[in-house]
Amino acid sequence: TTRRRAGARWREITRDQARLGEGHDPEAPCLLLVHGFAASAEQWQRLVHQLRAQAGGEPLPPVYALDLLGFGMSEKPGLSYTQYVWEAQVVDFAREVMGGRPLVLCGNSIGGGLSAGASATLGDQVKGLILCNTAGVLEEPAEYAAPRMLVRDATLRGEHAAPFAPVPLFGQPALDAFGAALVAALFPRVPALLDGIYGDRPANADEALAFAIAQGASSPGAANVIGSGQKLATNRPLNEVLDGEAGGFGGPVLVPQGMNDKVSGPARASERADAFERLRPGVKVCRLEAGGHCPQDDAPEAVAAAILEFLPAVREYAQGDTSRGRAAESTVGA
């Protein structure tokens, strides 16, 4: 089913579509899928199909996919787009639309960085995190030094060292003009660009995908959104938001990493896979030699298999959270 809320489009894979049987646990963590820059919810269809196929008769958790504001079929209001706007959308969706239900966040590219940040904000609601060739600052774990004050806390107190100027130099009209020029230059080349990004599975860069991207880019307000890619603020480091002891997410993390990433480059993809493996216990890296920048779409079979293998760790972590919560309640009651 497809629905709208506050200008954002989202899709829910219903019980019939996901082939959920009577044994479905209504408390099982949901999957919330978050796409990357200039993409849309449609980019998750192959992965969801593979999850169904590989699960066989086993029940799957409910699956949601949303269009970030400014992309896909969501509205494109005239505001200053940053990662924090989209991260707030993910957080609001999880709390309001999903009703605070336990979930696993799964993001690709910039959607991975948003999912990681949201996992830190949502706290106990998140039971697992899946990062497919994620964007975001990842410092060498051995060299990372936690800041005197977390970026989140410093920002809330107005002490951030580098205030963010959302519209530099000539202001919003220049940003709109730049975005319009970028859309005009790239619009005719969308199929060719996708062929390059999907180098290992060019057949998956099909007309439907090209149409979905082109449709979003041609909508009113798209120039502002596309132009925003040139002035995005710095993310909170992944080292911070995935550090449970520093107020981040400390649960299980799966990193399906397409090693033939044509956006960041294969060497960079390998470096980030290595860094994730050194980040902390509970982070599992799955190297996909035949996967690219969007492994959920050009290597959906491998990513689905990795997710299904990962879900027991999510359930174990979720059950541990429940046990810890009950123990805390008993202590308070005593």
Long-range contacts of 40-43 (CB under 8 A, 24+ apart): 40/67, 40/71, 40/72, 40/73, 40/212, 40/213, 40/216, 41/9, 41/10, 41/11, 41/65, 41/66, 41/67, 41/72, 42/72, 42/208, 42/209, 42/212, 43/108, 43/209, 43/212, 43/294, 43/296, 43/297
Q: What is the DSSP string of 40-95?
A: -GGGGHHHHHHHHHHHTTSPPPPEEEEPPTTSTTS---SS---HHHHHHHHHHIII
Higher pLDDT, 52 or 21: 52
Token pair 């051995």 is found at 142
The model's pTM is: 0.84
3-state class (DSSP) for residue 319: helix
Q: Which of 209-223, 254-268, 286-300 has the lowest mean pLDDT?
A: 209-223
Mean pLDDT within 32-53: 92
Mean pLDDT within 20-47: 78
Single out the residue of 314, 304, 322, 295 nearest to residue 104, CA to CA. Answer: 314
Q: Where are the beta strands (DSSP E) in the chain?
A: 2-5, 8-13, 30-34, 63-66, 103-108, 126-132, 253-258, 283-288
DSSP state of 287: E
Angstrom distance (rounded) from CA 257 to CA 293: 8
Angstrom distance (rounded) from CA 294 to CA 105: 16
Is residue 329 pLDDT above 50, yes or no? no
Asked whether 287 and 259 are in contact (CB, 8 A), the reply is yes
Structure confidence at residue 211 as a pLDDT band (50, 70, 90): confident
Token pair 């239900």 is found at 101
50-107: pLDDT as tens digits: 998 998 877 788 899 999 998 888 888 888 888 889 999 999 999 998 889 999 999 9
Asked whether 290 and 260 are in contact (CB, 8 A), the reply is yes
- Calculate what percentage of the chain has a pLDDT beyond 70: 76
Q: What is the DSSP string of 216-253?
A: HHTSTTHHHHHHGGGSPPPPPPHHHHT-GGGTS--S-E
Question: pLDDT value at position 8?
Answer: 57
Angstrom distance (rounded) from CA 174 to CA 294: 31
Token pair 């005009």 is found at 184
Angstrom distance (rounded) from CA 225 to CA 202: 27
Is residue 6 pLDDT above 50, yes or no? no
Is residue 248 pLDDT above 80, yes or no? yes
Angstrom distance (rounded) from CA 179 to CA 190: 15
Single out the residue of 52, 118, 45, 39 nearest to residue 85, CA to CA. Answer: 118
Among the ranges 6-10, 68-72, 171-175, which has the highest mean pLDDT value? 68-72
Pairing of strands 63-66, 8-13: antiparallel
Question: pLDDT value at position 21?
Answer: 33
Structure confidence at residue 323 as a pLDDT band (50, 70, 90): low
Asked whether 72 and 326 are in contact (CB, 8 A), the reply is no
Q: Which two tokens stand for residue 321?
A: 């959270």
Report, in angstroms and rounded to the nearest whole number, the Rg of the chain calculated over CA atoms: 20
Angstrom distance (rounded) from CA 104 to CA 47: 15
Question: pLDDT value at position 206?
Answer: 83
Higher pLDDT, 196 or 88: 88
117-133: pLDDT as tens digits: 999 999 999 999 999 99
Higher pLDDT, 325 or 96: 96
Q: Whats the size of the chain, residue-wise?
A: 334
Mean of the per-residue pLDDT values for the chain?
82
